[in-house]
Amino acid sequence: MTTQQLSPPAPTTPAGLPTRSAWLVLVAVVLADIMDLIDSSVANLAGPSIRADLGGGQVTLQWVLSAYTAAFALGLVISGRLGDVLGRRRLFLLGMTGFTLASLACGLAPDPVFLIVARTLQGLCGSVMIPQGLALVKVVFPPQHLRKALTPVGPLMGVTMVAGPILAGWLLHLDLFGSQWRSIFLINVPFGVVAGLLAWRVLPRRGGEDPAARLDLTGVALLTAASALLIVPLIQGRDLGWPAWTYLMMAGSAVVLALFVVSQRRAAHPVITPTLFAKRSFVVGLVIVAGFYASLSAFVLTINLLLQQGMHWTPLHAGLALIPWALGTAVAVLLAGAVLAEKLGRGTLHLGLSIAVVGLLALWWSVAHFGDGLTVGKLAPALLLTGFGSGLVFIPLVDFIIGDATPEEVGTGAGLLNAVQQFAGAIGVAALGTVFFARVGHGSAHSYLAAAELVFGIAAGLNLLTLLLVGLLPKHAQQAH
């Protein structure tokens, strides 16, 4: 008997419409996504405040950001398969509980090491939670209603991106009970309690799991080692002067990753479902995701460091300055989900990445032209363009990568998609963060401006490379039924 036969049918009314419980499942999943998105966006904005309070050098800030994203990425690949083995409902609830407790630990961190460890645990718990949600939504909604169900999610994520930096700036400005940056993590606790209770009540008992699935421990170990061998030298290398062991570790990462690929071909229960790699849209889509999210994470880190440390703006001022970017993202995601992605197919990706390149180059020009005379108004046009272009990319990419995934593939596919997003983000922070801090040097205002120009230029180049790859995708994403 196949997994598809064992999976419960998507619940519908007699008219074929999704039931109320299906919409409540979507609400619980979206709350989890909001927690993750808020956490990553506020942490970027609060980075300078964390460093000022807990101490540590520039590398400490990179670890605070990258520990979460790297752990999240690594766990996502594994948890997609774990969902098949242990049950998606169970893992979603476990991940939600752990994420909430880890957020509390972050808010109470007494020193940088404790915070980095708590952020790592937070990332691992988030990675257990997020891919189960997307797989459960695909189970409870009939295929003909899935796009309609997911259409409002993009704009909501955009609104969250608008609210996240403003919320972080506002909380840092208020300094409630002398909590400083800690409140940005503590705010996850009530969100987690509400979302966890709702999920416990409404999530289906079964979510398309595969009773025959097993976890390939050898593959997990190799993938973990390959990830660590890459991230550690990227973050520590510049601070230590790039000793020989950093280059050896990065070379070792490529070797171990090759061993992982070989092991997956021989494994009875591979970590990554092999049939996914027979789909051209999946493979090409993941490469595009990697370049796009590396560029996006570097942009977010750089703009916050430039405004707060280079221009000495307050966190609230910096958060308000990012509104055009987040607003442009929200509007573009709504357009892509409602109209463009279905009608234009890969043309939406061409359009979005082209606009993002223009926006980043406009940002580079604004920084170079206005220098320390930058204002919110002078940054707004470039930020609006950058956000709008990025927003057009999100939904079409998901359509191409997992739109034609079968029930047997969707858990692993969703996990790998999110993993590549997060891991590319971690590499973007580590690699381009290193480029940024190397150019900053002793930290004069002029050096921050020069460093930002360099990173914005590199980010535009990354988006241009991904734009060239879009032509390898089929004209329209295919949907599995």
Residue 386 has pLDDT above 90, yes or no: yes
Mean pLDDT of 212-226: 77
Residue 203 has pLDDT above 80, yes or no: yes
pLDDT in tens, 228-246: 788 778 777 766 777 888 8
| Model confidence band, residue 383 (pLDDT cutoffs 50, 70, 90) | very high
Domain 18-202+271-472 classified CATH 1.10.287.3510?
Answer: no
Residue 38 has pLDDT above 90, yes or no: no
Rounded Cα distance between 431 and 440, Å, is: 14
Written as six digits, the tokens of 404 are 């034609």
Phi and psi angles of residue 70, each rounded to the nearest 5 degrees, phi first = -70, -45
Find the largest Cα–Cα distance for the chain.
68
Burial class (CB within 10 angstroms; exposed 0-12, middle 13-18, buried 19+) of 61:
buried
Question: What's the mean per-residue pLDDT of the chain?
Answer: 78
Residue 57 has pLDDT above 60, yes or no: yes
Please check whether residue 292 is in contact with residue 427, taking contact to mean a CB–CB distance below 8 angstroms.
no
Residue 13 has pLDDT above 50, yes or no: no
pLDDT at 327: 84
102 or 12, higher pLDDT: 102
Angle, helices 188-202 vs 20-54, to 10°: value is 160
All residues at 6 or more sequence positions from 139 whose CB lies less than 8 Å from its CB, including other chains: 7, 8, 10, 204, 207, 208, 407
Residue 251 has pLDDT above 90, yes or no: yes
pLDDT in tens, 81-103: 677 777 788 888 999 999 999 99
Distance of CA 447 to the CA centre of its chain: 29
pLDDT at 411: 60
200 or 239, higher pLDDT: 200
H/E/C letters for each residue in 431-475?
HHHHHHHHHHCCCCHHHHHHHHHHHHHHHHHHHHHHHHHHHHCCC
Residue 272 has pLDDT above 50, yes or no: yes
pLDDT at 6: 41
Where along the chain do its domains lie? 18-202+271-472, 216-270
Please check whether residue 216 is in contact with residue 267, taking contact to mean a CB–CB distance below 8 angstroms.
yes
Rounded Cα distance between 305 and 439, Å, is: 13
pLDDT in tens, 316-369: 788 788 888 888 887 887 787 666 767 777 788 889 999 999 999 999 999 998
Residue 138 has pLDDT above 70, yes or no: yes
Share of the chain above pLDDT 90, in %: 14
Q: Which amino acid is present at 38?
A: I
* CA nearest to 324, candidates 291, 293, 359: 359
pLDDT at 158: 55
Secondary structure class of 188 (helix, strand, coil):
helix
Share of the chain above pLDDT 70, in %: 77
